[in-house]
């Protein structure tokens, strides 16, 4: 009698194991992080730990990506992490307009550029912007936190990127 239940149980466990294993989402740790950052990333989410009113419409939000707190043309921007010149010893961070320009910069041109270094494989230390902390990092998803000051208060902004 027990034998009749064992076979379906084993098949169900094997199916669950195969479904739950996704090599594309393996965490990237340690020294592999620096080179794994290189490439083009796009926003998937932008959130705050505190509800704020960035756009001045009288409504506070935690979620900046799925609301009108920031303009759609900013949510469309692409972020690039690239290998910097060897003589400088730092890598290059840039944000570029995608197809939906905000008007200040033509589509597909650089909006912001900075140099950075990865400190202790956990912190992106920039020359001109606040540090960003790596919260999680897989092959296709990167989650960063950054301290900021918005709407008259200190907040932590969480940026979730997907590789594009």
Q: Is 155's pLDDT higher than 50?
A: yes
Distance CA 97, CA 6 (A): 57
Q: Is 80's pLDDT higher than 60?
A: yes
CB pairs under 8 A, 24+ apart, for 128-133?
132/159
- Please say whether the beta carbons of 46 and 160 come within 8 A: yes
Distance CA 60, CA 107 (A): 30
Res 14: pLDDT: 53
Going by their DSSP bridges, the two strands 110-119 and 78-82 should be labelled as unpaired
Q: Is 9's pLDDT higher than 70?
A: no
CB burial string 44-69: b at 16+ within 10 A, e below: bebbbeeebebeeeeeebeebbeeeb
pLDDT, tens digit, 9 for 90 and up, residues 37-69: 999 999 999 999 999 999 999 999 999 999 999
Confidence class of residue 73 from pLDDT cuts 50, 70 and 90? very high
Res 89: pLDDT: 82
- Please say whether the beta carbons of 144 and 130 come within 8 A: no
């Amino acid at each position: 009698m027990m034998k009749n239940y064992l076979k379906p149980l084993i098949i169900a466990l094997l199916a669950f194991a195969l479904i739950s294993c996704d090599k594309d989402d393996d965490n990237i740790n340690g020294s592999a992080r620096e080179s794994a950052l290189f490439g083009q990333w796009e926003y998937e989410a932008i959130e705050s730990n505190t509800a704020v009113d960035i756009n001045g419409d009288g409504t506070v939000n935690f979620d900046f990506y799925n609301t009108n707190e920031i303009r759609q043309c900013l949510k469309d921007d692409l972020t690039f992490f690239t290998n910097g010149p060897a003589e400088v010893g730092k890598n290059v961070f840039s944000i570029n307009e995608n197809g939906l320009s905000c008007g200040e910069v033509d589509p597909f041109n650089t909006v912001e550029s900075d140099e950075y270094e990865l400190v202790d494989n956990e912190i992106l230390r920039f020359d001109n912007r606040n540090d960003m902390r790596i919260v999680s990092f897989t092959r296709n998803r990167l989650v960063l936190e950054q301290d900021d000051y918005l709407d008259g208060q200190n907040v932590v902004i969480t940026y979730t990127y997907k590789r594009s």
